[in-house]
Chain A
Amino acid sequence: MTVAVLKALGAVFVAVLLELAVFAPLHIGGGSADVVLVTVAVVALLTGSVVGAVAGFWAGLLLDTVSLSTLGLTSLLLTLVGYWCGRYGETTARDRAHAPFLAVAVITVLYAAGNLVLQFTIGEPTSARWILFDSLWPQLIMNVVLTLPLYALFRWMFPRRTLIASMTREVELVG
């Protein structure tokens, strides 16, 4: 578990640097890929909800720090992203090839909606149209495309036994 957490934190750190240096400045069709979100989702799918939540929290903390924005907001959203994807990976997503793509697509939409709600809550000027329509669709497509290479990479980094170790905590002897 500790090794998995450390590897997840390292992967998220690299993802944040990649996001800042490569992906954020590349605007395609009015949006850009969110490699940090995809990384948190995929790592959580492969490692479980606890590691996913910790990775999400760390990713949010890093993003809020480097962008000098309100600490804790992105952490809150990405913690929930990591937890939800982790639970999905531990339960219904097992052995399903479409699971990473579905998880990333759903999470991209929910993350945008959550971000919009938080921005409204803290009184920042924002636009539902821009967040939920203009920039969301290109980002959704790019995130799903990014899922394939990232899932392959992280499946190699996090062997399946990491998730099994997480899942067996819930095994009951039923017969």
Chain B
Amino acid sequence: MPRHRSVRLATTGAAAQRTASSTFGSRSGGTLGRRAVVVALVLVSLVLATAYFREADSGPLHSAQGSAAGVLEPFQIGAERVARPFRDAWGWFDDLRAARSENRRLKEQLAALRKQKAGKAVTAGTPIGGIGAYAHAPRYVGNDYTLLKSDVISDLPTYQQQIVVSAGRLDHVKRYDPVVSTTGWLLGHISKVSSNTSQVTLISDRSSAVAVIDFAQGTRGILRGGGPDSGSLVMDQVSKQDAVANGEIVTTAGRLSGGSFYPKGIAVGQIDAFSQSDTAPFKLVRIKPFADLSSIDQVVILLRKGQVPSLP
């Protein structure tokens, strides 16, 4: 009889319960106090959001957030290290399930890359991503970049495809630095930097735009993310006259297409499908990224030695 018990508490237990009561003596006072706390917290949240949204990246709230993130970073790294064996165990079972199809896909990619390398002469010093790119770092980055390997410390499942890595301004990370996987596939770019951590916007984010080129055909386009609900990326602005073919490798185009903060030649993915209609001005080309963008543990940041190129 829970309801009956509550009534007795209200009618006969008032004197006894009053000793347990603390700050607010009456009903109106208690209600008022409670509402005041909640309204104050909501107002603080709104003020924080508005001020943060309006201020520049060097503003006081951004700086305070960066400092606080730096304080929290050791806890995040500690929790990450404790949890990693369990996550790895889960990942092992998950990978085992998908191993056969993954193996077939990788063999196809390898064959395509070999064919591509045989067909196109890659001159010495030309940056080229792909399998083993990180292992061949000096050739890959040339003189313009140095490499920094970093752990992913936050990958919250939001619609915005952004992760946080454990390297920041103190590690010479700058905004717009390109980010690749440890195998050399393009992942995205640095979008926010604090003293010890940085936010990476992945190429699957809806706001991402990367100048890319179909390596074999020479077809250029803009790679756009489709968000987490799209399994592939879209290569936009591809003229109907340009040739494309399924299975061909797409890499970053560098600055030739009018301004890009990604160096030329980082492997992005393979053409998965394409179509065109009479009404649409461009071809619709779908790209399947090489990197598994849903599960990233470590990244490699390409630290730019010079200034960020001016963007279009």
Q: What 1/0 flags go to B173-207 for Cβ under 8 Å of A? A: 00000000000000000001010011100000111
Instruction: Tell me what chain A mostly uses at the interface: helix, strand, loop, or mixed.
Output: helix
Query: A105 → chain B, closest Cβ, in Å?
Result: 18
Inter-subunit contact A22/B83 (CB<8 Å): yes
Is B295 an interface position by the 8 A CB rule? yes
Residues of A within 8 A of B79 (CB): 17-18, 20-22
A17 and B45 form a contact (CB under 8 A): no
Other-chain residue from B10, B87, B164 in contact with A22 (beta carbon distance below 8 A) = B87
Contact of B37 among A26, A54, A72 (CB under 8 A): A54
From B48-56, B273-281, B304-312, give the one contacting chain A.
B48-56
Complex CA gap A24/B295 in Å reads: 10
Q: Is the interface of B mostly helix, strand, loop or mixed?
A: helix
Asked, given contacts A53-B38, A67-B199, A71-B61, whether A79 binds B45 with beta carbons under 8 Å apart, the answer is: yes
How many residues of B are counted as interface, with CB atoms below 8 angstroms from the partner's CB atoms? Answer: 74
Q: Does B246 contact A (CB under 8 A)?
A: no
B254 at the interface (CB under 8 A from A): no
Shortest distance from the beta carbon of A112 to any chain B beta carbon, whole Å: 11
Query: Is B155 an interface residue when CB atoms closer than 8 A count as contact?
Result: yes
Do A20 and B53 have beta carbons less than 8 Å apart?
no
Question: Which of B37, B72, B197 is A62 in contact with, Cβ under 8 Å?
Answer: B72
Look across to chain A and name the residue whose beta carbon is closest to the beta carbon of B296.
Answer: A25
Nearest CB in chain B to that of A76: its residue = B45
Q: What separation, in Å, do the CA atoms of A15 and B14 have in the docked complex? A: 36
A141 on interface, CB distance cutoff 8 Å: no
Known: A68-B197, A70-B49, A70-B53. A75 touches B41 (CB 8 A): yes
Question: Given A20-B156, A67-B164, A171-B14, are A125 and B206 neighbors across the interface (CB < 8 Å)?
Answer: yes
User: A72 and B160 in contact (CB under 8 A), knowing A21-B83, A164-B20?
Assistant: no
> A72 CA to B49 CA in the complex, in Å?
5
Say which size band chain A's interface belongs to: 35 or more
- Expressed in whole angstroms, the minimum distance between the Cβ of A163 and any Cβ of chain B is 11
Chain B 155-170: CB-based contact to A (< 8 A → 1; otherwise 0) = 1111110101000000
Indicate if B272 sits at the interface (CB-CB under 8 A): no
Q: Is the CB of A169 within 8 A of B27?
A: yes
What residues of B have a CB within 8 angstroms of the CB of A168 in the complex? Answer: 14, 17-18, 20-21
Which of B17, B22, B45 is packed against the most chain A CB atoms within 10 Å?
B45
**In the complex, which of the residues A68, A80, A83, A125 contacts B159, with contact meaning CB atoms closer than 8 Å?**
A125
Q: Is B31 an interface residue (CB 8 A)?
A: yes
State A66–B162 Cα separation when bound (angstroms).
Answer: 12
A59-79 CB mask vs B (1 if < 8 Å, else 0) is 010111111111111011001
- Decide yes or no: A171 and B10 within 8 Å by CB, A25-B295, A135-B228 being known contacts: yes
Please name all residues of chain A whose beta carbon is closer than 8 Å to the beta carbon of B159 when the two chains form the complex: 119, 124-127, 130-131
B61 touches A170 (CB 8 A): no
A31 to B86 CA separation, bound complex (whole angstroms): 19
Does A98 belong to the interface (CB within 8 Å)?
A: no
Which residues of chain A are near B21, meaning CB under 8 Å?
Answer: 165, 168-169
User: What is the 8 Å Cβ interface bit string for chain B, positions 60-72, against chain A (1 contact, 0 not)?
Assistant: 0100011011001
User: What CA separation (Å) do A168 and B16 show in the bound complex?
Assistant: 10
Q: Which of B17-39 contact A (CB under 8 A)?
A: 17-18, 20-24, 27, 29-31, 33-34, 37-38
Instruction: List 17 other contacts, CB 8 Å, given A73-B49, A75-B41, A127-B159.
Output: A20-B154, A25-B155, A27-B295, A50-B34, A57-B44, A67-B154, A68-B66, A69-B160, A72-B45, A80-B42, A125-B159, A125-B227, A168-B18, A170-B31, A171-B14, A172-B14, A172-B27
**Can you name 14 A-B residue pairings with CB atoms under 8 Å?**
A21-B82, A22-B87, A27-B157, A49-B34, A50-B34, A50-B37, A53-B37, A60-B45, A66-B69, A67-B156, A68-B197, A76-B49, A125-B207, A172-B14
B residues lining the A interface (CB < 8 Å) = 2-3, 5-6, 9-11, 13-14, 17-18, 20-24, 27, 29-31, 33-34, 37-38, 41-42, 44-50, 52-53, 61, 65-66, 68-69, 72, 75-76, 79-80, 82-84, 86-87, 90, 153-160, 162, 164, 192, 194, 197-199, 205-207, 227-229, 294-295
